[in-house]
Amino acid sequence: MSLSIGPHALGGRVLLAPMAGVTDPPFRALCTHFGAALACGEMLSADQSLWQSPKSRRRLAGAARAGAGTAGRNTGDVGTVAVQLAGSDPAQLAEAARRQAGEGADIIDLNLGCPAKKVCDKLCGSALLADEPLVERIFAALVRAVDVPVTVKIRTGPDPTRRNATHIAQLAERAGIAAIAVHGRTRADRFNGQAEYESIRAVKRAVRIPVIANGDIGTPAQAAAVLEHTGADAVMIGRAALGSPWIFRDVNSFLGAEKISPPLLRTTIATIILQHLESLYAFYGEYTGVRMARKHLARYCELRPETRAARSGLLAADDTASQFALARQVFGVATADDIELQR
């Protein structure tokens, strides 16, 4: 079973969640290589006056397509390009969507899920869930503006006393939104506590458009359980993919055959990590590349005790050559167990 969004048959039921500062073209290419059916880009402000900053330029649809070759040199390509927009002005969002569709975006995604204070203070992200009439106008403006599918990512409501995800989903369906992803927390919850899935189940029962479940999905068994409980069409994995991009391989294997994938060899993981570093350096250049690599290396270091011990040294490296050499030393040494497994 696979998921389709508009004309795009995605070929799977496991998606990568957009995460600011993480889901750049190199990481999206890596996750796509391991089986993410869709890997949406980082949140982009609908205010086009901000698009000239280096950070925003790298989030544009054109940059995603141009960067696919470089980022995917060793890891596959970005695949379907989905651009996520954040904003609160319907006309501004519509114009931004037109620009991004014109640059090659296959899907426009609307961010109604980010709980960050700096985003919500601008009445963007999950803050919009409290203003249903405005959300309805935004949906209508976006769908009218572009010929490509429009999707939306939401939370279950402004706070636990007002979980309005079902009504938001119904507004989305009536407006022509192609799919909806629901994170099982409210805006007020931020990332505290545990995600709940009853609200996602209610959304799925209330609409006919594809529903994607998100929140606290970190293992194949959890993904299968959430799909079973909610009836959702797909799951979306976020933080669990950071440091373990092969989670999509594992989840797909479990959903397809209820089998646990054999663990990757250490030498295979070392190759993945080093290729990821190379793609980051190629995409960002020397100065930014080494800094962007640090957040990924910090998570890769959590894989086992001996790599955790090397974390401080890896994060202290201040140029790509020394960072890469140290990473090769830390991750790239085959052990006797690896050699035995490869026989």
One domain for residues 278 and 245: no
248 close to 35: Cβ distance less than 8 angstroms: yes
Extract the tokens encoding 139.
């949906």
One domain for residues 108 and 251: yes
One domain for residues 213 and 300: no
Q: 333 versus 147: which is more confidently predicted? A: 147
Rounded Cα–Cα distance for residues 273 and 103 (Å): 31
One domain for residues 158 and 272: no
Name the domain boundary from 208, 233, 257: 257
One domain for residues 122 and 201: yes
One domain for residues 274 and 240: no
Name the domain boundary from 209, 227, 257: 257
Other Cβ atoms less than 10 A from the Cβ of 343: the count is 4
One domain for residues 281 and 142: no
One domain for residues 216 and 308: no
One domain for residues 9 and 69: yes
Indicate if 114 belongs to the active site: yes
Name the domain boundary from 196, 225, 257: 257
One domain for residues 247 and 277: no
Confidence of residue 335 (pLDDT cuts 50, 70, 90): very low
pLDDT tens per residue, range 183-216? 999 999 999 999 999 999 999 999 999 999 999 9
State how many domains the chain has: 2
Which of the residue ranges 6-20, 74-88, 213-227, 241-255 would you say has the lowest mean pLDDT?
Answer: 74-88
One domain for residues 238 and 271: no
pLDDT tens per residue, range 248-306? 999 999 998 878 889 999 999 999 999 999 999 999 999 999 999 999 999 999 988 88
Q: What pLDDT does residue 257 have?
A: 81
Domain that holds residue 54: 4-257
Q: Which of 114, 120, 124, 301 is catalytic?
A: 114
